[in-house]
Each structure stands twice: as structure tokens, then as C-alpha cells.
């Protein structure tokens, strides 16, 4: 039997939640295990249900989506969050990514795109709407701000950084390097700490701007 992806829906519009829930219920391999009507409830449900993927809107009462993402990823750095929203402004895109979202999809996306984005985020890979990806590429072309290293990366950490920046999951990296997934997780934490970065997406931006990988190597 194929693995079922457990999903938490967070959106303040009941009809939107109902519509997405109904659509996912018709697809094999997807199970909506909970819903949240605001950001505060999303944080609580994420902690209680420990879903595989959190499908989250940005504009919500009590806590915004950005605030919820930050709290969820602070409590669980491995949380996989896919933003599903109508907002395509650069400020919101980068705020969501910096807060820890792994994917950013616009509500105009087709069902097939939503399903694939959920699968990608579940696998620990990036999932970006084409319009969002274009804006991300534009950001990558901007001058690199200085990054102060507390200490240089080790050879192994440099290897892991390059693979993380390609959008590979910890398990895939572990298989590639013939090491344990827990060891990869430790390396990732060390890399983020040394580079003063908040998450894997920022690490990807850093690697691209430093020329450690090319944009064609990033799985988005």
C-alpha cells in the first residue's frame, strides 16, 4: 500500500477548507487529519496532530500565517509547511520562506499542481508556484550581503550544504553519502548555525549566491 500523507488544513475561510478537504478526499494517498480556522489554532493543531504536511494560508486572525509558521518551525524544525494563498507579493513570499515554509503555492493553482506540491513538501523538497519561482530567481540576482562565519564549514558540512541546496531531503542525502539520517540532521543544524541562517531555503539562497551550485541543480 502507498504511504498516506497526513495533512493539516489551516485557513480562516470555512468554505475554502471544505473545498480543499473534499478535493483531497477524492485522491488516494492523502488524509486530512485536522483543520484550523486561525493561526493560533494552526500552531496548536500542528503540535497535537504532528501532521506530515501543513497546508496554510497567510491571512488569518489571531496569528498571521507568517507568525504561525515561525512558531511551528521553532517548536519542530522538521515541520513541512506548504503555503497556499492568494498573495504573490515579494515581501510575503520571502517572509514565509524565511519563517520556515518549504513550499509556496497560489490558490489559482490546478489540483494536479497542489497534489504534486504536497508530495514534494512531504519528501522534504521545495515546491514553488512558477510566479513565486520567478521572483525568487530575481532575488538571487541581487548582490550578496556579507555573511560572518563563526567558523568555516568542514569538508563534510560543505558536501551536505551543496546537497541541501539542491533540494534533497535528509534521507536522500544520507543515502548519497552513506551516513545516517540523524548525522545529516546534525550537519544541517551546524551549517545553519555557522552561516547564521534560519532554514534550508536560506541555505539554498546562500549556496546559489556563493556559486556552490547552479540554479539548474535546484529542485524547484
pLDDT tens digit at each of 220 positions of the chain: 358 899 999 999 989 889 889 988 888 889 999 999 998 999 999 999 999 999 999 888 888 888 898 889 888 888 899 998 887 666 677 778 777 888 888 888 888 888 988 998 888 877 776 666 666 655 555 555 545 545 688 999 999 998 988 878 888 899 999 999 999 989 998 888 888 777 777 788 788 777 787 766 655 4
Give me the pLDDT at residue 64, please.
Answer: 86
Give me the pLDDT at residue 45, please.
Answer: 92
Quickly list DSSP for 152-213: PPPHHHHHHHHHHHTT--HHHHHHHHTS-HHHHHHHHHHHHHHHT-SSHHHHHHHHHHTTSS
Edge to edge, what strands does the sheet with 103-106 contain?
30-36, 5-10, 53-56, 81-85, 103-106, 127-128
Residue with cell 543515502: 175
Q: Which CATH number applies to 155-217? A: 1.10.10.10
Contact 131, 106 (CB under 8 A): yes
Indicate the pTM of the whole model.
0.61
Domain spanning 5-139: CATH 2.30.30.790: no
Give me the pLDDT at residue 100, please.
Answer: 81
Contact 106, 86 (CB under 8 A): yes
Q: Where are the domains of the chain?
A: 5-139, 155-217
The closest of 111, 18, 5, 114 to 53, measured between CA atoms, is 5
Amino acid at each position: 500500500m502507498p504511504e498516506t500523507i497526513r495533512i493539516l488544513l489551516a485557513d480562516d475561510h470555512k468554505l475554502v477548507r471544505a473545498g480543499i478537504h473534499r478535493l483531497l478526499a477524492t485522491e488516494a494517498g492523502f488524509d486530512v487529519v485536522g483543520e484550523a480556522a486561525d493561526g493560533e489554532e494552526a500552531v496548536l493543531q500542528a503540535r497535537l496532530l504532528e501532521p506530515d504536511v501543513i497546508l496554510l494560508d497567510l491571512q488569518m486572525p489571531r496569528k498571521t500565517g507568517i507568525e504561525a509558521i515561525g512558531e511551528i518551525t521553532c517548536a519542530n524544525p522538521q515541520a513541512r509547511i506548504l503555503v497556499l494563498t492568494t498573495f504573490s507579493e515579494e515581501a510575503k513570499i520571502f517572509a514565509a520562506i524565511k519563517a520556515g515554509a518549504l513550499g509556496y503555492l497560489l490558490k489559482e493553482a490546478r489540483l494536479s499542481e497542489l497534489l504534486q506540491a504536497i508530495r514534494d513538501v512531504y519528501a522534504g523538497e521545495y515546491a514553488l508556484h512558477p510566479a513565486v519561482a520567478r521572483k525568487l530567481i530575481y532575488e538571487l540576482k541581487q548582490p550578496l550581503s556579507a555573511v560572518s562565519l563563526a567558523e568555516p564549514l568542514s569538508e563534510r558540512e560543505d558536501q551536505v550544504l551543496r546537497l541541501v541546496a539542491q533540494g534533497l531531503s535528509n534521507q536522500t542525502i544520507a543515502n548519497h553519502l552513506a551516513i545516517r539520517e540523524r548525522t545529516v540532521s546534525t550537519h544541517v543544524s551546524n551549517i545553519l548555525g555557522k552561516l547564521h541562517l534560519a532554514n534550508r531555503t536560506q541555505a539554498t539562497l546562500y549556496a546559489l549566491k556563493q556559486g556552490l551550485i547552479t540554479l539548474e541543480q535546484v529542485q524547484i
